[in-house]
Amino acid sequence: MNCYLCRAAIPDGEPFYNDREQQVCKPCFKDAPRCFICRFPGKNLEEVEGLGLECEFCRGSVIGENDDLLAVLAPIFPFLANFGLKAPAQPQFAWVSRAALREMQTSADLPPEEFVDDFLRYCYAVYYNGGTFYCLRRMASPTLIVHGIVQLGVADICGAHGLANLSANSPFHTFARGFCHWVGFEAAKRLTYDLESRQLRKWPELGAQGEFERWESMARFNKQGKIVAFFKANLKALARRHLDDAVPGQSENQTS
Ligand SMILES: [Zn+2]
Ligand SMILES: [Zn+2]
């Protein structure tokens, strides 16, 4: 086995770094600059202005600012529909810097971030607010898809209840956010995005994922259809109790 960077043989029993189906010897790994997206000590790192170094593996799988985001996300709309969530017909996207996206989501005093996972630990890479999906510059496509699913769900619920965003912490909000986070988590699992599903199980750390754990444990013992029905019925009741009056859609008076 040879080191990806220096090509020297890595002796048996020596520790090494293993990722991207490549091995990097310990001396190289110790000093190597690393990709800000995946932390891999790439051979061909290129500086992305204002963000950091990007490796040869991430270049290419990363969503660029000229990519058609709707085209990337549209194939997952039927998946959302299975959870009773409807994507907007014409979603508006805006690219924002990490700092700005972080500020939209939390005012907490957080440690400085170097890598994308430092950011994802506290925030979503896609964030819905006031009719726009704000997107992190240079994210990998699995991140866009999974975080996009969460926030498309959020947008649908906001639209149905006349809300600009879902960030407040009433029982209505945490209930609904948890459900959307769980839908994104389920998508990550089914798409075998292992990294993203692991991240969504524990992050964001500041509570943006609401009552996610409740949905995850419910899913262990219940069929999806039953969970979706439970969500719909309870969301309605919680909206009545916890949202300000004059909530659009309340007069429908449907029971099921
Ligand atoms: Zn080496
Ligand atoms: Zn990388």
**What whole-number distance in Å separates Cα of residue 219 and Cα of residue 16?**
38
Q: Could you list the residue range(s) of the whole structural domain that residue 38 is in? A: 16-59
User: Same domain for 51 and 146?
Assistant: no
Report CA(112)–ligand 1 centroid distance (Å): 29
**What whole-number distance in Å separates Cα of residue 28 and Cα of residue 134?**
37
Report CA(57)–ligand 1 centroid distance (Å): 18
pLDDT of residue 245: 55
Number of domains in the chain: 2
Q: Is 185 exposed, middle or buried (0-12, 13-18, 19+ CB in 10 A)?
A: buried
User: Same domain for 76 and 151?
Assistant: yes
Ligand closest to the CA atom of residue 32: 1
User: Same domain for 183 and 237?
Assistant: yes
User: Same domain for 39 and 83?
Assistant: no
Q: Which of 5, 36, 59 is the last residue of a domain?
A: 59
Report CA(9)–ligand 2 centroid distance (Å): 23
User: Same domain for 24 and 132?
Assistant: no
Q: Which of 40, 59, 78 is the last residue of a domain?
A: 59
User: Same domain for 82 and 136?
Assistant: yes
Q: Is the pLDDT of residue 253 over 50?
A: no
Tens digit of pLDDT for each residue in 163-222?
999 999 999 999 999 999 999 999 999 998 988 999 999 999 999 999 999 999 999 999
User: Same domain for 27 and 96?
Assistant: no
Ligand closest to the CA atom of residue 1: 1
Averaged confidence pLDDT in the chain? 91
Strand partners, 62: 140
Share of the chain above pLDDT 70, in %: 95
pLDDT of residue 124: 97
Q: Where are the alpha helices (DSSP H) in 114-223?
A: 116-120, 141-161, 171-190, 194-202, 212-221
Tens digit of pLDDT for each residue in 132-177?
999 999 899 999 999 999 999 999 999 999 999 999 999 999 999 9
